[in-house]
């Protein structure tokens, strides 16, 4: 199976196509997806704050989204791996890391709305709704990828992912 076909299946909540990709391609796909996620988020944040920056540093702020995306990706992978291992998941940390990285393609649509949500105070209801819908879609794709990679039952996956999302959400709330 080729990359576009596997990503199309993944977008339709069918992660089986990813397993058919060559194993040595997963790290590159992971890096590509997380980098693009960081560029989308950083670019939107830079565009929204262009008046504050007065044309200075727009490229730097756009590129700053990449390390932020990798930091969040690594943290989320670690938390999810810990909670899934506690419930009997049988995958290594790198499997969780690469799985989340491949699933990051589903978070591309939420990134600009998340940047808008953070930039506006108070955010408009349309931004909140669109951010919620795209975020739920990204979470659904990620959950299917995780369930497939860790070979967990649906109930165990939901429990572990719920605890991880709560923990990560609290962590992000304290960070922001």
Instruction: Please state, in angstroms and rounded to a whole number, the distance separating the CA atoms of residues 156 and 89.
Output: 9
- The 10 Å Cβ neighbour count of residue 79 is 18
Domain range for residue 18?
A: 3-175
HEC assignment per residue over 18-52: HHCCCHHHHHHHHHHHHHHHHHHHHHHHHHHCHHH
User: Which pLDDT score, from 0 to 100, does residue 148 have?
Assistant: 87
Summarize pLDDT for 101-110 with one digit per residue, the tens. Answer: 999 999 999 9
Summarize pLDDT for 39-82 with one digit per residue, the tens. Answer: 999 888 888 876 666 666 677 777 888 998 999 899 889 888 88
Instruction: Please state, in angstroms and rounded to a whole number, the distance separating the CA atoms of residues 112 and 118.
Output: 10
**Counted domains in the chain:** 1
Summarize pLDDT for 116-129 with one digit per residue, the tens. Answer: 888 877 888 999 99
User: Which pLDDT score, from 0 to 100, does residue 86 have?
Assistant: 82
On whether the CB atoms of residues 100 and 80 are closer than 8 A, the answer is yes
């Amino acid at each position: 199976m080729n990359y576009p076909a596997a990503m199309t299946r993944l977008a339709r909540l069918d992660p089986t196509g990813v397993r058919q990709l060559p194993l040595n391609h997963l790290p590159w796909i992971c890096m590509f997806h997380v980098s693009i996620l960081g560029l989308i988020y950083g670019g939107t944040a830079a565009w929204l704050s262009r008046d504050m920056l007065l044309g200075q540093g727009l490229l730097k702020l756009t590129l700053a989204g990449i390390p932020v995306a990798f930091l969040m990706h690594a943290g989320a992978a670690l938390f999810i791996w810990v909670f899934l291992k506690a419930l009997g998941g049988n995958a290594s940390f790198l499997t969780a890391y690469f799985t989340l990285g491949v699933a990051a393609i589903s978070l591309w649509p939420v990134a600009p709305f998340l940047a808008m949500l953070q930039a506006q105070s108070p955010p408009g209801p349309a931004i909140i709704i669109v951010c919620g819908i795209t975020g739920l879609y990204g979470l659904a794709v990620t959950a299917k990828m995780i369930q497939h990679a860790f070979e967990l039952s649906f109930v165990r996956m939901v429990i572990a992912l719920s605890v991880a999302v709560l923990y990560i959400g609290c962590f992000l709330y304290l960070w922001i």
